Structure 1
Amino acid sequence: MASIPLLRTLVTVKRHPSALLLFVQLLGVVLYPAMEHAAAGRAVFGAFGILVLALALWVINRSPAINWIAWLLAAPAVALSLLAGTGLGPPSLATAAQVLEGALYLYAAGGLTAYMLRDHRVTGDELFAAGATFTLLAWAFAFAYLVCQQWFPGSFIAATAPDAPRSWMELLFLSFSTLSGVGLSDIIPVRAQARALVMLEQFAGVMYIALVVSRLIGLATTRAIARRDADG
């Protein structure tokens, strides 16, 4: 009998892969501070990143996106990440992996956006997809910031240790703050390339709210009004 709840959970996860992706990425936000500085934590960090990549591929399979493009990005990203983790190759391997990971997250966000815009009624899966798309965009730009500060040292400064490169958690915090438009980050882009990326993310955040979230709200409102009129 204990297998029945497990079977139901697996069926629900299969129907809503966006929910699992959203949960794992939000779990990462909680766990990253503990993984960032310890040697063992960095290994777990790499494994966690591969898990998120796998879930992103699964989500893309449910969207109108072209799957071979996703695999073309994911396969070398995983290979380069594993090779960079061994410490045998040059630092540029990790940078190349980060470029590919960011591109995959951005591509997955585009696929989920197309999936949400294709439907004409709001379901639970669309709501999970809306949250997962936001986190995918935040991760994509965080990787872009990470690559930017490697290519252009000193791109971002902060009140604490202004001359040190910013950590992954700091750049992810900047990405969430910029994408949501709350402007609470203490990380400041100071080089032109970094400011250009921040402006692109600000534009992406505004357009996401205007095109995707507002559409979901409008569809849900229209459906509620139609149901009320039918009941009346």
Structure 2
Amino acid sequence: MTADRIFAAICVYLLLEFAWSYAYALLDEIQPGSFAASTEVGRNDYVARVMQLRYFSFMTLTTVGYGDVLPRSSTARTMAALEAVMGQIYLTVLVARLVGLHIVHANASRSRDGD
């Protein structure tokens, strides 16, 4: 496992967060009021709204969930649950893959040293 592959895996994780944040922004455009926040931004300030939803997405993907931005509609709640599960599955598979590659590499090194 090279450093490039590890950085690529991190980039994919961050791209997941960006994709979900734009999906949330699209949902909020289609169904206004799908999300509630402790500090509301104006409906006309699209960039601030996307940044707020990006923050929500990152907190959901990492399953931190501070609770200052909440999904209100059933669609938003379903999407948030899917994102949280996806984030956990991604990390689980990534760690399992890294451990598996490390074991294979260690076994290959031992067999070369034993020859």
Q: Distance in 2 between matches of 1:221 and 1:168?
A: 42
User: Are 1:159 and 2:38 counterparts?
Assistant: yes
1:82-102 Cα offsets, whole Å, 9 max, x none, are xxxxxxxxxxxxxxxxxxxxx
Structure 2 gaps of 5+ residues are none
Q: Distance in 2 between matches of 1:216 and 1:198?
A: 27
Q: Distance in 2 between matches of 1:214 and 1:182?
A: 22
Other-structure match for 1:220: 102
Other-structure match for 2:75: 193
Q: Which amino acid aligns with 1:149?
A: D
Local SS of the residue matching 1:167:
helix
CA contact (8 A) 1:138 1:179 kept: yes
Comparing both structures, which one devotes a greater share of its residues to helix?
1
Q: Distance in 1 between matches of 2:42 and 2:35?
A: 9
| RMSD, aligned CA | 2.2
Q: Distance in 2 between matches of 1:189 and 1:180?
A: 16
Aligned ranges 1:70-149 → 2 under 5 Å: 122-149=1-28
Higher relative contact order (CA 8 A, sep 6+): 2
Matched length: 110
CA contact (8 A) 1:130 1:213 kept: no
Among 45, 50, 57, which residue is 1:175 paired with? Answer: 57
TM-score between both structures, scaled by the size of structure 1 = 0.43
1:231 offset after TM fit, Å?
Answer: 4.5
1:195 offset after TM fit, Å?
Answer: 0.7
